[in-house]
Structure 1
Amino acid sequence: MPDSLRSPMNRPSSPRKRATILDVAAEAGVSRGTVSRVLNGERYVSDRAKEAIEAAVIRVGYVPNTAARNLVRQRSQAVGFIVHEPHSLFLEDPNIGGILLGANATLSRNDYQMVCLVIDSVRDVERVGRYLSGGFVDGVIIVSARVEDPITQTIEKLRIPTAFVGHPPSRGAFSFVGINNRESAAMITTKLVETGRKRVGMIAAALDRDSGLDRLNGFKDALGTSLRPELIVEIPLYSYKHGFDGMTELLTRDPTLDGVFAASDAVAAGAIDALRRFGREVPGDVGIVGFDDSAWALRTEPPLSTVRQPAASLGEQAAELVLSELLGGAPRVDGVLLETPIVWRASA
């Protein structure tokens, strides 16, 4: 069928041509250079010309080519958010979500895109390492970094602005934001003991990173000479399942224990369900406390006594640290520590 006989519905549509800076200049009756100065926020352009250009941008439907501009500036206008956790825990842990949303809010206000990168395997480490080396992000925020973390080693080589949530796992000149895990763990353990608990154990998680190890040391600080090492059960992750398994092991070691510090709220939730499975009342038979004051703390029955970790603020501060370095600031190697009040509820 000849094109002249085709109905409008049957004619192939051609892609609409993208408006360019030349189109804006022609519409506004000014030079390309004047348009460029206005779009880049430069001065020395008359108010009349600026108004004409702004009106022309709307009429021709001009959208700045950010990719091309960033290529010239050697900037991606993106910051990577790296979480070194299994995929299942990334979805389960409300703290990670809170940190992510806090970071995203700050980056968004500053016109930066956040790129989420989850590391769950050796292959992920290699993939993310290649991605970072490709210059696709201007800086990174790292959550849950491990000792001997290969991603940290990659970051050190690339020398890109970086902020850790928690202490960096190496002695590099990195910014970080965190909390005093050791002091907070000691405080809530002490409060648990003050309720009259005599045989207190701990479900210690994630000892391959600073937060887990510091919480364990804080527990030891609080108990001092009354510490019973056999009542410390180590589990790999801050997860409900591992909390359930850890509590089961604690009851096997000492069926008469009457107090438990769980290294996170998710761990505590699993522990409470294990206690219930074995016929123990909370807090009647066993008082239990957690750490984070996440959504898990209000899902348990009874509601959980815990330490409030300001997840959103941690993300916001981490993003601010990265943005500061992007503007030429020095890394905050002394770190930023946030307050962690105790929230006392019915579980102890």
Structure 2
Amino acid sequence: MESTGGARRRPTIVDVAAAAGVSRGTVSRVLNGGHWVSPEAAAAVERAIKETGFQANQYARSLVTGRANSVAFLLTEPQHLLFEDPNFSILLRGAAQALAAKGMPLLLMVAGTRDEQQQVLRYVGAGHVDGVLLISTHAGNPVVDALVAQRVPTIACGVPLGHEGAVGYVAADDLGGGRLMTRHLRERGRRTIAMITGPLDTPGGRMRLDGYRAELGDDFDETLVENGDYTRESGVAAMRALLERRPDLDAVFVGSDLMAVGAMQALREAGRSVPDDVAVGGFDDSGLAETLDPPLTTMRQPFARISQEMVRLLLEVVDGETPAAITLPTSLVVRSST
């Protein structure tokens, strides 16, 4: 058996001090903000850190600063949706990139069940993260109530229904996007326009429906509305129900691209062509839309900007600033499905 005694040991603060020609106390002060350290000594310590390959013990630093120097990406949905709904992975990647630029790791947490919610809340409440990026909130969700009660810095993706005054957020303009898609379908000459909504306890489900309703005005008809839950399967079921109830429909606005995949499947099964018989519009433009046959007309959410702004606002709240709210515009992307 070969000896491992020749393995290189990890450099310590003592090695950095020796390389820089300063005391261990000076190195410690540089690592914790550089207070009471001359520019010359600070520069020497920074050079020594690079030369030795030293990495600060984050746990030890957190004891001094009172910060965990990490952020949670908290998805309050069942685990399988993290992989099935492309929106979540896009937001996760964007948040991770924004935090990496600041030298902070992102912890992925899923709280779709009661047990998961309790585990996450214990972990977050113990101070293991500095704040939470809250993804896919539902009205009445106990996780949001607990985060507010524990005063955990939190920024939501979408309007946190019921907590608008306590929790900051970054949202796409769901209402305006709903109006614009409905207007586009009318401008295409469609007269019997149905809608498949997302869950009505979510901001997207509620506000996209509000936009559809507002654009139709007196022409709004409840028999042309069916609810889904943002999954492909719910899009299939909702489209089948609409076709049975209103076979005269000639367009459908679907509240997410993933549900639109299911809706288009149901239309094919019923012998309806898209867009000749029924025009289909979605919402998200996560990358899935352009791969469909025909490619899907949809409302584009600025996911990269949403992630960046969520990180920026959260770090401001961590630093003690008042939670802010931002609503970003959506844009219509016209493809062959309409």
TM range (shorter): over 0.9
Name 1:158's counterpart in structure 2.
150
Partner of residue 281, structure 1: 273
Report how far residue 311 of structure 1 moved: 1.1
SS of residue paired to 1:141: strand
Q: Which has the larger displacement, 64-73 or 280-289?
A: 64-73
In structure 2, what is the Cα distance between the partners aligned to 1:176 and 1:135?
Answer: 21
Distance in structure 1 (CA, Å) of the matches to 2:48 and 2:186: 71
Counterpart of 2:115, as a letter, is: R
Separation in 1, partners of 2:237, 2:70: 40
**Alpha-carbon deviation of 1:166?**
0.7
Residues 150 and 324 (structure 1), Cα distance of their counterparts in 2 relative to 1, 3 Å cut: same
Q: Give 5+ residue unaligned stretches, structure 2.
A: none
- Does residue 180 of structure 1 match 2:180? no
1:80-159 → structure 2 map (5 Å cutoff)? 80-159=72-151
| Partners of 1:184 and 1:307 within 8 A in 2 | yes
The question of whether the paired residues in 1 share the 8 Å contact of 2:194 and 2:225 is answered with yes
> Which of 242, 249, 254 is the aligned partner of 1:257?
249
Look up the match of 2:57. 65
Structure with higher Rg: it is 1
Q: 1:126 to 1:51 in 2, by over 3 A?
A: closer
Match of 1:340 among 325, 330, 334: 330
Q: Is the 8 A contact 1:34 1:45 kept in 2?
A: no
Q: Distance in 1 between matches of 2:302 and 2:45?
A: 45
Write the letter of the residue equivalent to 1:338: L
Residue 159 of structure 1 and its aligned partner are, at CA, apart by: 0.9
Give 3-state SS (helix, strand or coil) of 2:119's partner: helix
Q: How far off is 1:12 after superposition? A: 6.5
In structure 2, relative to structure 1, the CA distance for the partners of 1:305 and 1:54 (3 Å cut) is closer
CA deviations 1:259-301 (Å, max 9, x no partner) are 1111111111111111111111111111111111122211221
Q: TM-score, normalised by structure 1?
A: 0.90
1:147 to 1:53, Cα distance in 2 relative to 1, 3 A: closer
- Aligned-partner Cα distance in 2 for 1:252–1:166: 33
**1:196 counterpart residue number:** 189
**2-side partners of 1:220 and 1:67: how far apart?**
53
1:303 CA displacement: 1.0
1:33 to 25, 28, 34: 25
Aligned counterparts of 2:104 and 2:224: Cα–Cα separation in 1: 47
Shift of 1:341: 1.2
* Partner residue in 2 for 1:232: 225
SS at match of 1:291: strand
Q: Provide the identity percentage.
A: 39
Bigger shift: 170-179 or 13-22? 13-22
Q: Number of aligned pairs?
A: 336
Per the alignment, residue 248 of structure 1 pairs with 240
| Greater displacement, 178-187 / 281-290 | 178-187
Deviation of 1:220 after TM superposition, in Å, equals: 1.3
Question: Residue 251 of structure 1: CA displacement?
Answer: 0.9
Gaps of 5+ in 1: 1-8
Match for residue 3 of structure 1? Answer: none
TM-score using structure 2 length? 0.92
